[in-house]
Each structure stands twice: as C-alpha cells, then as structure tokens.
Structure 1
Amino acid sequence: MKPFDQLVAYIKELHTIEEEEIDLILSKFSHQKLKRNQILVREGEPCNFNYFVLNGSLRLYKIKEDGQELIRYFALENKFASNLTSLITNEISQEYIQSNETSEILAIHKIDFYNLVEVSPAMNKVYRNILENAYITSQKRIYNFQGMEAIERLKWAVKYNPNLLSRIPNKMIASYLGITPFTLSRIKSKI
C-alpha cells in the first residue's frame, strides 16, 4: 500500500470524494519518516502542522516542573495528531508531540489544511471528525477517569486503542491513565 492510500481510505470512510478532489488534498501533504523519540513540536513553539499517522505512533504530552510526563493522547495508525489549541489559535504549544517508535506520517501545514477545509467537502468532514473525536475523547477521559478504578481506566484505553499495551511502554500508559507503573503492572493481568 502506498503511503497516501491510507489517507485516501480514511477520507473515503467519512465522505464520498472525486479523483480531482483527492489529487488536490494529496498535493498538500508531505510524507515523512521519523526516528524513535523524534520531536515534531516542542512546548513553547507554535504547532503549525496536522499529522496523519501511517505507521508507528505519536504521543502528545506535557512535562511538569518535577520532570513527570503527563500524556494526553496517543495517535497510532490512521489517526490525526496535532496540538489543536495551538493550531487553531496560533498560540504556542503547551505540549510536545513526539514519535514513540520509528514512524511514518503525512504532514500538512495549517494554512493548507484550513484552505482545504474551506474548499473540499471531504476535508471539511475530516476536520469535523477530528474535532468531534477530540471532544468526545476529552470528555470521556475527564469524567470517566474521575470516578473510575484503575482497571476500568485501562479497559477504556484498550477499547479505544487495542494495540496500546503491545506497542506503548508501561510507563507511558501509566502516565496517560493517571496511575503508577506499579499499579498498571498489577492490573494488566486482570483484563
């Protein structure tokens, strides 16, 4: 499968699209290969790109003053990742975007992305899907994690990211779930 085929398949799941519109969309994306732990965006820099993961994974995180990572999101295959607040407002990013493993992505600059959202019904649907999923995931994490036991948090995370446990280090998953690595090790066998 060619790199752009995955993006086309993703778009076609959301909206019918003509070949001419596909060509326009694909012309705005660049293909990039990332090394493990490669940083795409640093805290304090603007986030000027939206990234589509072809293979590998990205994580979005913040580092607390004590050095602890607070992971907000993992993007595995066929997911978009960006610091949407920075992308939308043009403010600096409050988090890092980094590859967890050797990865391939498609990147689109925000100017091109928003121009496509205006002229392409398919990309407008993609953007709406990105925003809706970000909102839903955020709401579920906030409200569910407040009252959920650690094992329920883990089950929720695996439901929405089935490959999480086999691909992401325990320390990162624990950070994402707001539990200790020891707790994660203890409960993994229960699911």
Structure 2
Amino acid sequence: MYQQLEKFVKSHGKIGEKELQEVVKAFKPINTVRNEMLCNIGQVCKHFYFINKGCLRLYEIDSNGNEITGYFALEDSIISANTSFILQRPSRDCLVSLEPSELLVIQRKEFYKLAATITQFATVYNKFIEFAFIHSQMRIYSFLGMNGMDKLRWVMEHEPKLLSRVSSKAVASYLGMTNSTLSKLRAKL
C-alpha cells in the first residue's frame, strides 16, 4: 500500500531512503466507504490524504443549497480541505470519498513537521500548493469565458477520468451547470 506513496514522493525529486521511510511511517492506512465524509462544513481539518485507490471530492454548499465542486482527486494524488487545514479554521468545504477508497492519512502536526525537516517532502507540499493554485486559476479564468460545451470539452481534455468515474451531478457542479444541462451537452458530442 505504501509503494504508491513512495513512488509519488520520489517523482518530485531525489530523496534518501531514511527520509523516505520517515515520510512513509507518518502516514496511516484507512479505508473508506462510498460517500464517507472526511471533513464536513464547520469542522477543522486536521488530516491530509494520499489516494492509493478511489476518488475524493471537495465541495461546498452555497446559500441556495447547491453543491459547488472545487476539486476531485483520484489515485496517486493528495488532497485536503486546504483552507481549513492550513488556517485551522472551520471548513467551508466538505471532503467526501465518492467511492470505496484506500487512503494514506497524515495528521497535520506530522505533516508540517515533515515539511520542515525533510526538504523533499516540503517540495511535494509546495508542488501540491502550486498545482492547486494553478488549477484553480485555470478553472476560474477559463470557465468565466466558456460556454457549457467548451467547459465539457475542457474536462474531457484535462480530466477525462472524471466523466467515467464521477456522477454526472458532481461533474455538473464542478462545471457550474445543472445536471440536465450537462446531459444535453453530452448528447450533442
């Protein structure tokens, strides 16, 4: 179960075996069921997750009760309710396991200890933050000027697994449209 995490950390640059084992040792395996809530609105997020198998979704609920998906994470990626995890304030987001998942979880205190003491782990974290920022900016700026069909094409090009792994309702909330609009657009392709 830890081989994927080791490979993920190594993919971000050279790391000594001792440091790698220290990183791996800090993560604990957990299994989730479909729709298991890992962080809910109002909770303070104290964990960071590496996904061995499965899919996690980060979303919030607007004042009208609509779900707005911010991010999906699939195998070989990391995720948390970032704002809450970093600031240690109650979360505006929900982090949920969309399918039965095999995760490796690290406590916030251990996470930041590793980031402060193991340069390669700090690089992994920095790359994640950079990716999260760039991904958010791409979605915001791209989606503002796109019509529905262009948004769907964007997902097909950049995140094609979502369309086969995630419910159309969740994908629609990610694209900022209704499920029926997404269905109509998919039918036109």
Question: What is the match of residue 106 of structure 1?
Answer: 104
SS in 2 for 1:27: helix
Q: How far is 1:157 from its partner?
A: 2.0
Out of 59, 71, 74, the position equivalent to 2:72 is 74
Of residues 5, 20, 23 in structure 2, which corresponds to 1:25? 23
* Match among 151, 155, 162 for residue 164 of structure 1: 162
Q: Which moved more, 1:150-159 or 1:69-78?
A: 150-159
Q: 1:17-166 counterparts in 2 under 5 A?
A: 17-166=15-164
Give me the TM-score of the superposition, normalised by structure 2.
0.96
The one-letter amino acid paired with 2:52 is: L
Distance in 1 (CA, whole Å) between partners of 2:63 and 2:48 is 27
1:190 deviates by: 4.8
Point out where structure 1 has 5 or more consecutive residues left out of the alignment.
none
Q: What is the deviation of 1:10?
A: 0.9
Query: Which whole-Å CA distance do the structure 1 matches of 2:171 and 2:22 have between them?
Result: 37
Amino acid at match of 1:115: K
| CA distance in structure 2 between the partners assigned to 1:162 and 1:9 by the alignment | 23
Q: What RMSD, in angstroms, separates the aligned Cα atoms of the two structures?
A: 1.2
- TM-score, normalised with respect to structure 1: 0.95
Which among 11, 14, 17 is matched to residue 12 of structure 2?
Answer: 14
The Cα of 1:189 is off from its aligned counterpart by: 4.3
Deviation at residue 74 of structure 1 after TM alignment:
0.5
Q: Report the CA distance between 1:60 and its aligned residue.
A: 0.6
Q: Specify the SS of the correspondent of 1:16.
A: coil
1:25-60 CA-partner distances (Å, limit 9, x unpaired) = 011001110000000001000000111111110001
Counterparts of 1:12 and 1:29 in 2: how far apart (Å)?
16
1:149, 1:46 → 2: CA distance?
36
Q: C-alpha separation between the residues in 1 aligned to 2:115 and 2:70? A: 25
**Comparing 62-71 and 29-38, the one that deviates more:** 62-71
Between the aligned partners of 2:187 and 2:10, the Cα distance in structure 1 is 38
